[in-house]
Amino acid sequence: MSLFKQLLLAICLFLVVAFGGSFMVSLESSRAQYVNQLRSHAQDAATALALSLTPNIDDPAMVELMVTSIFDSGYYASIRVIDLADNKVMVERSAEPDSSGVPHWFIRLIGLEAAGGDAIVSRGWQQAARVEVVSHPMFALAKLWESALGSLGWLLLCGAISALLGALLLKRQLRPLDYMVEQSHAIARREFLSLPELPRTPELRRVVQAMNQMVEKLKALFMEQAERSERLREESYQDSLTGLANRRYFDMQLQARVSHAEENRPGYLLLLRVNDLAGLNLRLGAAAADTLLKEVAAMLARLCARHPETANLICRSRGGEFSVLAPGLTLDEAHQLAQALDTALHSLYETGASDMYPVAWMGLAPYTAGEAPQDLLKLADQALAQAEGSGDGHWVCLDQPSVRQVGDDHHAWHQLLDQALEGHGLQLFFQPVIHAQTGNTLHHKVLSRVLDAHGAAIPAGRFLPWIERFGWSARLDITVLRLVLTHLQARPGVLALNLSAATLDDTQALNRIFDLLTAHSALGPRLIFEIGEEQLPQQQVLEQVTRRLHALGFGLALQHFGGRFSMIGNLSRLGLAYLKVDGSYIRAIDQENHKRLFIEAIQRAAHSIDLPLIAERVETEGELAVIRHMGLEGVQGRLVGEPGPWQEA
């Protein structure tokens, strides 16, 4: 029983005892008073009747008339006139009055006995007769019963009012306890909540202050770990001059996003080299050269922000060389990006940031997922060399016949994907995510495949760019969600499903998704939604989506995590189910110590809020051994399970 119910029950019991005791005392006092009244009433009637009978004692008719008159005028059990000469009853009247609605149990409980009185009738100086009058207690019992009903009604009214007021008061006073329960639940969800208003009750105030202090301490420890991890990431993977990624980070991302053919998208690699940086240092000084590099970096970040997936894949390789990896870019988009960069670089010359033109040369090379990163770098270097040796332009884009797939035309993709999203030709693949220590399956990651005209499965890396160009990302998410809900209704297990940035930004699409989830809320514990780190919406939108998902019982997690570790302070309030560490930090972790140090920093920060970490793209036994040693909870990758259709147990 809750404390609230116990206190409320105690108040009610106290009221019952208090009013019950008061009623019993009042009842006993009234009972004694009524006994005296009955005795006095009987004695007064006997005296009055005796005086009235004195002149008429020898007239039997008058005696009977007067006795009857007195008997009928009051509450009497009996009236008798006894001749003292022979002790014979001259006149007697008796009756049993009606109970007047008084229950028999109340009559027995009160035990109020009849009271009597007597008087002598004289004949001159002689005693002629004796009058005996017995008053019936029914009148007193009726009054006591009415008094009892009135007291009971007052008791019930006072009890109801007291219970209502007591409940309101207790609810208000115990509200901090409810909030402290919510605080503890929030800590379990990796959230940190403090009670802003302290209660006035001293005992509760001390408890709330202690709870707030503990929450703030946990939050401070977590933020300290997060800041330390972010500093380590900046030292390891960020260029100190421009703030862009360094060559180490870029090589990691290049390896992760180019060498895997299954999920990665084709795109373009752009290399930019500042013209004669060494000569610029000599002529204008190191400060001017550094300023130029910063402006070039800011220009790259600004123009590449139009392509969200490219924004975190810009790096300064060395000196005046910059690299941009642009997954999902088409040939026309690559040309537009190069032209925009060339125009922006020309503006640097016009504003005096450089004393020569062109400021930089650029080379673009296309790639398809699955090719060797070194071959792509050689092709991009070749394009850059051609741009430097050409007098016609400042950038060159090479082409590869292998990049242009036979069926990669707008109309064919539109027709194929439209049919798939109508429910014809879309297939679900599942990749297991296992516990790193026990090997038990934690959940299955849901991947979508489009079947071509020959029934072959097309990986997401090929059709997702077209989905985005057609503006069908939200449509794809809704279609896949319907298939997943149907799958969960027929089969056991826990699934993880990705939500795209386009869906999160589309209020109408989100409402349709939540309508589906509301209709299948019983499946909540078995479905977790994942959002890519590069696709996170505004914090306010993200918190609103999280609250709605949690209200329906569904979970939320973050995948491809690592590039924006500074945001983990905000994510701590979301109650995430887990974090999936990006595969670029996992690849060759057994050979590259800097990755291990960074993952250890993430692990410490996540462990402080009890947030599980799952490693993505684990492909070797060495990587798995390091992950197990570091204490990460889950593993996902080809080493533990290839994506494929659902396999019945």
CA–CA separation, 533 and 565 (whole Å): 9
User: Where in the chain do CATH 3.30.110.200 domains reside?
Assistant: 37-158
Helix (H, G, I), strand (E, B) or coil at 111: coil
**pLDDT tens profile 347-378:** 775 544 444 456 788 999 998 877 888 888 99
Position 99 scores a pLDDT of 63
Question: What is the pLDDT of the chain when averaged over all its residues?
Answer: 82
What integer is the mean pLDDT of 222-229? Answer: 72
Q: What is the DSSP letter of 402?
A: G
Bridging pattern class, strands 314-318 and 426-435: unpaired
CA–CA separation, 73 and 114 (whole Å): 17
Model pTM? 0.66
Position 313 scores a pLDDT of 86
CATH code for the part of the protein at 247-403:
3.30.70.270
State the pLDDT confidence band at 598, using cuts at 50, 70 and 90: confident
% the chain with pLDDT above 90: 19
| Residues in Cβ contact with 428 at an 8 Å cutoff, skipping those fewer than 6 apart | 446, 447, 448, 449, 480, 483, 484, 487, 645, 646
**pLDDT tens profile 525-578:** 999 999 988 788 887 888 889 889 999 999 999 998 876 665 665 666 677 889
CA–CA separation, 342 and 509 (whole Å): 38
What integer is the mean pLDDT of 276-303? Answer: 86
User: Where in the chain do CATH 3.30.70.270 domains reside?
Assistant: 247-403
Domain 37-158 has CATH 3.30.110.200: yes
Q: Would you say residue 407 has pLDDT above 60?
A: no
User: Where in the chain do CATH 3.20.20.450 domains reside?
Assistant: 410-636
- The CATH architecture to which 410-636 belongs is Alpha-Beta Barrel (3.20)
CA–CA separation, 187 and 181 (whole Å): 10
Whether 345 and 358 have beta carbons less than 8 Å apart is answered as yes
**pLDDT tens profile 478-536:** 999 999 999 999 999 999 999 998 898 888 999 999 999 999 999 999 999 999 887 88
